[in-house]
């Protein structure tokens, strides 16, 4: 039984490691009894060492504040008294507890003994869909008071309130959910199992009815499908009053002429069955400008499909605009979100996985997250979840891949999320999907997206690339090795062995085919040998540039006709032969199991479904090998890339079609009555030509409209180019990076951080980041860099916004899609104009073709791509009308070359200022 007394502890320290001599400089303890706060204690502590500037910046605790504070041994009796007989609770308990133990030992007190609870671990289990488990994010989510983050008294109190919320949430969960969690929780890192045991005893004494929106099916609590009870039909057709809907939906709505014009243009295109391309600048409100006309048209009995590039925009449309419209129209219009099958949980597989005796931490944590999530989700969509990387691997086992034994043999069929999503989509007037799903659906014999004649493609500047990616192939070492590792031999408790054991139980072993451990070892060795051959090819390539570690080798006809490539081909043919044998054995043995479906227990049925899913992935790997090594498709560009520091682990083979225009046109334009294409960046120099030619669309068949951003850029943005940086090609990269670093240090100090620095090369980013770190001049700043600092793009962006003095370095994906409004971002730096490297395989193949046809590759391929990316980068700075800031472009080609005008004429009209660094720094001080 878990003790009723809980001591919630938080400390601030001079560094991250007690073992390396870092010390406590502030401690706070909040005592909870009967789920109520009964006592608080806090004290600064003299750490007897200087506090590093970064810690001062983070916590606000200065050397002066702790100078007269007591030494730890003087307050140790007070701490011992409060911790005695309590459960030790902290947000990341394995950070706080070692510091306390070390300090108590040094004060000659015994180490604390007892149960521990980590509120981060508890948050992961109880809030499986939350974006971040940082204390500040969680307190904001629960609207808890947390006035001084990173000070121990404020953090301890916030953690205590959070713990009380978590215990309340646990009490609300169904008993069956808590019981299943308790069985799993013994493998967690803190003593949450004891907390759950207490909960179970309490719940069994006071049995409560299930919440109305919860049902228990086969021992698992689920949220009921809200649509099952929604029988009400609306006979009265509501009139579409656009202005009224906008005013009701947005309390501070102001009439925007560009938005209303775009609405009318989309409306007219849908009514008349014509195609439309609309460039709508930031602030126009394009989402609502196409959704309302789509709703109006859908109410007449026409289905409209809306496709976006990102999951975030998909969710935003569904949860924000769609929900508002549904409310205003009293539910007289139905929206549905539809994604690829593998996004959805397969309940039968999950049920059986729950019954497995598994101790691996990430699997246990993910199972517990899913148990909570199933009481909350109506969609069963993995994009709702925040899983660890190990959790993602477990998801691959329990995701939906259809049915091997037929859906009629799935006891969860009536509750199946995938079937529910298909059903919603088939009954909805407006279906929201993503570009990947939309394009992949063209490969299916029976498309999943319901038949439609009207299509809206948002973020349309990505659409051509998505088509290339979906119709292309990729083959990489790490994922293939992981897939092979799932097999095991007949004598191992992995897929092959478990299937073999199943056939023994069915008395089918004499008819089954065997796969020895030795054969699986040979298969793995063949994979290693094949990729080692590719490693040697990459290392010996003459295209390798001195000083770089990441290489790309285009697999041209010259490479493919070399003797070396023949050796690589033979190695992969041997690997493919082994893989075919695996496919034949598993397929044969699965078919044997299928004959005895009626004899199979649920656990055995789930095993056959898991192996069926595995074979679908296995088949994709074999198709990829055939494409790269057995077929010779001239209309494709193929390349090999890897990092010499980690071969063969980093190796990836990629294939993309050079010509996708005809296919895009056939699938998405000739077959639809009206296609609406929209984005903030579709044009170059005010022309849609580059964008439309990429999609194979004749300009004569589509109406094109530009709605500029309504923001006053002349008042809110300054654009500068340093005079004292050399032309990028006139000095070595090393010299150039050193000069860039000097400029960034001076500007960063002037802006006090709040600066986003965009690169086109990761090598240059890394070099600049390291020089700035090593300079000794940026100790007060938090420097974060893509690919160096841990975390996804979203996580890095969020952390950047948390710190006052932060500088964020990004490349590739950071040029678009990140949203940092207000004063969090005051200065945007572009180190180079965003041209793709001339040897980037797809760009090179497209350029070669233009050259072959007598065109100008630079003007027709390289420049338009760079201009669109430049526009996307420019758009990071001003996200709202009140935003203001500076853009500094270090690349003097912007003003020194004739093509610089193409970049400048594609952004809002603002003066460009040429200044020396000192002048830029002074102007930054004045402007900000």
Is residue 250's pLDDT more than 60? no
Is residue 228's pLDDT more than 70? no
Is residue 544's pLDDT more than 70? no
Encoded tokens for 106: 């040094």
d(CA 921, CA 917): 6
Cα dihedral 146, 152, 158, 162, rounded to 10, equals: 150
Confidence at residue 235, expressed as pLDDT on a 0 to 100 scale: 32
Is residue 63's pLDDT more than 90? yes
* Burial status of residue 697 (CB atoms within 10 A of its CB: 0-12, 13-18, 19 or more): buried
> Mind listing the pLDDT tens digit for each residue in 261-315?
999 999 999 999 999 999 999 989 899 899 999 998 888 889 999 999 877 788 7
Q: Are 78 and 27 in contact (CB under 8 A)?
A: no
Q: Where in the chain is the domain with CATH 3.30.420.10?
A: 6-210
Of 924 and 304, the one with more pLDDT: 304
Q: Which residues carry a binding-site annotation?
A: 280-287
- Stated pTM of the model: 0.86
Q: Where in the chain is the domain with CATH 3.40.50.300?
A: 716-927
Is residue 233's pLDDT more than 50? no
Q: Are 803 and 751 in contact (CB under 8 A)?
A: no
Encoded tokens for 883: 């935003």
Mean pLDDT of the chain: 89
Question: 171 to each of 202, 372, 904, how far by Cα in Å?
Answer: 9, 12, 60
Confidence at residue 365, expressed as pLDDT on a 0 to 100 scale: 97
> Mind listing the pLDDT tens digit for each residue in 705-755?
999 999 999 999 999 999 988 887 888 888 999 999 999 999 999 998 889
Is residue 239's pLDDT more than 60? no
Confidence at residue 824, expressed as pLDDT on a 0 to 100 scale: 78
d(CA 113, CA 328): 58
Is residue 100's pLDDT more than 60? yes
Q: Give residue 236's pLDDT band: very low, low, confident or very high (50, 70, 90).
A: very low
Encoded tokens for 362: 């990430």
Is residue 237's pLDDT more than 70? no
Question: 532 to each of 567, 607, 621, 814, how far by Cα in Å?
Answer: 11, 34, 18, 33
CATH of domain 244-334+661-707: 3.40.50
Confidence at residue 245, expressed as pLDDT on a 0 to 100 scale: 65
Considering the four listed CATH numbers 3.40.50.10140, 3.10.310.30, 3.30.420.10, 3.40.50.720, the one that applies to the domain covering 6-210 is 3.30.420.10
Read off the pLDDT of each residue in 118-128 and give the average, rounded to a whole number.
96
> Mind listing the pLDDT tens digit for each residue in 384-393?
999 988 999 8
> Mind listing the pLDDT tens digit for each residue in 822-838?
777 889 999 999 998 88
Read off the pLDDT of each residue in 234-239 and give the average, rounded to a whole number.
40
Of 635 and 175, the one with more pLDDT: 175
DSSP letter at 113? -
d(CA 119, CA 167): 11
Q: Is the dihedral of CA 257, 259, 260, 262 positive or negative?
A: positive
Is residue 779's pLDDT more than 90? no
Tell me the CATH architecture of domain 716-927.
3-Layer(aba) Sandwich (3.40)
Confidence at residue 543, expressed as pLDDT on a 0 to 100 scale: 52
> Mind listing the pLDDT tens digit for each residue in 862-882?
999 999 999 999 988 888 888
Q: Which residues carry a binding-site annotation for ATP?
A: 280-287
Of 329 and 528, the one with more pLDDT: 528
């Amino acid at each position: 039984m878990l003790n009723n007394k809980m001591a919630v502890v938080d400390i601030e320290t001079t560094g991250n490691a007690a073992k390396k001599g870092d010390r406590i400089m502030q401690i706070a303890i909040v005592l909870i009894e009967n789920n109520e706060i009964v006592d608080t204690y806090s004290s600064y502590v003299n750490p007897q060492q200087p506090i590093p500037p970064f810690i001062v910046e983070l916590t606000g605790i200065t050397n002066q504040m702790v100078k007269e504070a007591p030494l730890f041994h003087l307050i140790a009796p007070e701490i011992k008294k409060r911790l005695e007989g309590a459960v030790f609770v902290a947000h990341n308990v394995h950070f706080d507890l070692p510091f306390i133990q070390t300090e108590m030992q040094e004060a000659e007190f015994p180490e604390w003994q007892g149960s521990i609870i980590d509120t981060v671990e508890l948050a992961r289990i109880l809030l499986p869909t939350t974006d971040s488990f940082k204390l500040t994010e969680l307190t904001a989510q629960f609207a808890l008071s947390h006035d001084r983050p990173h000070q121990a008294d404020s953090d301890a109190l916030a953690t205590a309130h959070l713990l009380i919320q978590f215990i309340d949430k646990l009490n609300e969960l169904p008993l069956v959910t808590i019981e299943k969690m308790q069985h799993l929780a013994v493998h967690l890192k803190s003593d949450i199992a004891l907390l759950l045991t207490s909960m179970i005893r309490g719940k069994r004494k006071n049995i409560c009815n299930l919440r109305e929106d919860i049902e228990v099916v086969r021992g698992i609590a689920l949220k009921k499908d809200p649509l099952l009870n929604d029988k009400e039909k609306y006979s009265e057709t509501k009139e579409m009053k656009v202005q009224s809907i906008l005013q009701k939906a947005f309390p501070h709505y102001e009439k925007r002429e560009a938005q209303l014009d775009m609405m009318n243009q989309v409306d007219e295109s849908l009514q008349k069955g014509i195609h439309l391309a609309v460039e709508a600048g930031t602030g126009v409100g394009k989402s609502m400008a196409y959704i309302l006309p789509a709703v109006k048209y859908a109410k007449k009995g026409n289905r409209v499909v809306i496709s976006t590039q990102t999951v975030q925009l998909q969710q935003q449309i569904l949860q924000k605009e769609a929900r508002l419209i549904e409310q205003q129209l009293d539910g007289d219009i139905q929206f549905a979100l539809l994604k690829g099958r593998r996004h959805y949980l397969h309940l039968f597989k999950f049920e059986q996985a729950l019954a497995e005796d598994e101790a691996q931490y990430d699997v246990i944590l993910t199972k517990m997250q899913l148990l909570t999530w199933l009481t909350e989700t109506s969609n069963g969509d993995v994009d709702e979840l925040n899983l660890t990387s190990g959790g993602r691997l477990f998801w691959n086992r329990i995701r939906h891949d259809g049915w091997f034994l037929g859906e009629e043999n799935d006891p969860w069929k009536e509750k199946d999320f995938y079937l529910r999503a298909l059903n919603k989509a088939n009954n909805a007037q407006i279906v929201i999907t993503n570009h990947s799903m939309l394009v992949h659906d063209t490969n299916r014999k029976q498309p999943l997206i319901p038949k439609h004649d009207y299509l809206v493609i948002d973020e349309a500047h990505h659409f051509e690339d998505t088509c290339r990616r979906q119709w292309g192939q990729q083959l990489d070492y790490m994922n293939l090795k992981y897939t092979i590792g799932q097999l095991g031999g007949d004598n191992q408790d992995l897929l092959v062995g478990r299937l073999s054991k199943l056939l023994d139980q069915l008395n089918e072993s004499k008819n089954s085919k065997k796969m020895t451990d030795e054969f699986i070892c040979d298969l793995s060795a063949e994979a290693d040998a094949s990729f080692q051959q590719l490693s040697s090819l990459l290392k010996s390539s003459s295209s390798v540039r001195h000083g770089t570690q990441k290489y790309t080798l285009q697999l041209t006809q010259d490479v493919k006709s070399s003797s070396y490539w023949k050796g690589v081909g033979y190695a992969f043919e041997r690997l493919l032969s082994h893989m075919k044998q695996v496919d034949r054995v598993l397929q044969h043995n699965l078919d044997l199991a299928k004959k005895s479906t009626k004899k199979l227990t649920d656990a055995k049925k789930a095993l056959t479904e898991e192996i069926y899913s595995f074979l679908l992935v296995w088949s994709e790997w074999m198709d990829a090998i055939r494409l790269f090594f057995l077929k010779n498709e001239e209309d494709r560009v193929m390349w090999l890339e890897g990092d010499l520091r980690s071969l063969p682990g980093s190796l990836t083979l990629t294939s993309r079609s050079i010509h996708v225009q005809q296919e895009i046109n056939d699938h998405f334009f000739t077959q639809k009555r009206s296609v609406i294409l929209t984005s903030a960046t579709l044009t170059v120099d005010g022309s849609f030509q580059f964008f439309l030619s990429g999609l194979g669309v004749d300009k004569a068949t589509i109406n094109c409209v530009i709605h500029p951003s309504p923001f006053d850029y002349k008042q809110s943005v300054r654009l500068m180019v340093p005079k004292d940086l050399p032309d990028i090609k006139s000095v070595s990269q090393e010299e150039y990076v050193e000069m860039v670093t000097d400029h960034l240090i001076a500007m960063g100090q002037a802006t006090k951080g709040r600066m986003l620095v965009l690169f086109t090369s990761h090598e240059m980013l890394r070099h600049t980041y390291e020089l700035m770190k090593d300079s000794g001049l940026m100790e007060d700043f938090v420097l974060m860099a893509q690919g160096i600092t841990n975390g996804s793009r979203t996580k890095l962006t969020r952390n950047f916004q948390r710190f006052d003095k932060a500088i964020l370095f990004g490349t590739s994906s950071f040029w678009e899609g990140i949203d940092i409004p207000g004063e969090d971002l005051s200065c945007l730096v572009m180190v180079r104009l965003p041209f793709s490297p001339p040897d980037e395989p797809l760009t090179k193949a497209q350029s070669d073709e233009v050259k072959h046809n007598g065109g100008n590759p630079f003007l027709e391929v390289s420049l338009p791509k760079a201009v669109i990316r430049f526009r996307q980068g420019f758009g990071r700075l001003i996200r709202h009308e009140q935003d203001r800031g500076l853009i500094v472009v270090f690349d003097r080609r912007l003003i020194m070359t004739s093509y610089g005008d193409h970049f400048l004429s594609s952004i809002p009209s603002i003066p460009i200022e040429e200044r020396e660094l000192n002048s830029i720094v002074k102007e930054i001080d004045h402007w900000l």
